Amino acid sequence: MSELVFFSGTMDCGKSTLALQIEHNRSARGLAGMIFTRDDRAGEGKLSSRLGLVTDAVEVEDGVDLYAYLVDHLSRGGRADYVIADEAQFLAPGQIDQLARVVDDLEIDVFAFGITTDFRSKLFPGSQRLVELADRVEVLQVEALCWCGARATHNARTVGGVMVVEGAQVVVGDVNHSADEVGYEVLCRRHHRRRMTAASARAAALSPDVLPVAADGRG
């Protein structure tokens, strides 16, 4: 039986790397896949990982019917033994329904990869629909770590190293960014609630308002 599988996790936990591994393993066995993506860090029509691996993909725009796209591809003599959908959190709920139809009507496995919640700890609509429809939801076991060393469970958006909690849900950025631009950082729940990023933690540690402790311990 074909399946719709949702692989989820925070940023930096290896989702795209696993997508590329699945593509490699299956193509090495002579299978042909269809890869969809949206707003990848490497640019339009690319599926990339932070390890530097990259492959071509179909960029999904608003309003594209993914089921119809597959049917048209197959009717033209193309092959699609499986489908990979990376950055699936950016897909519309209706497009997730179309992927479910690919599984049910075309009997093609669909592997979707994405983060579940945004920088405000709110569900992405695409991810919510995947949780509702997927045959399986797999939480990736490669744990991203907060700056404090605890398991990272939340995604934070930063501007100049300062965490922000307002703005558009989708703003493309990366965990590797210069200090004066929009970026993202993974945090544990405690530090996400306190809005304490690695940069703000360093600033607090170096603050002149923090009194040194005297050698005799009296302060």
The gap from C-alpha 66 to its chain's centroid, in whole angstroms, comes to 19
The Cα–Cα gap between 96 and 67 comes to 10
Q: Which of 87, 132, 138, 185 is catalytic?
A: 87
Q: Encoding tokens for residue 205? A: 């540690």
State the pairing for strand pair 54-56/46-48: antiparallel
Residue 87 a catalytic site member: yes
Distances in Å between the Cα of 216 and the Cα atoms of 80, 209, 211, 213 are 72, 20, 14, 8
Per this entry, what is the length of the chain?
219
Q: Distance between terminal CA atoms of the chain?
A: 68
Return the residue matching tokens 């590797």: 176
Percent helix, percent strand, percent coil in the chain, to nearest 5: 30, 25, 50
| Residues ≥6 apart with Cβ < 8 Å to 180 | 160
Residues taking part in catalysis:
87
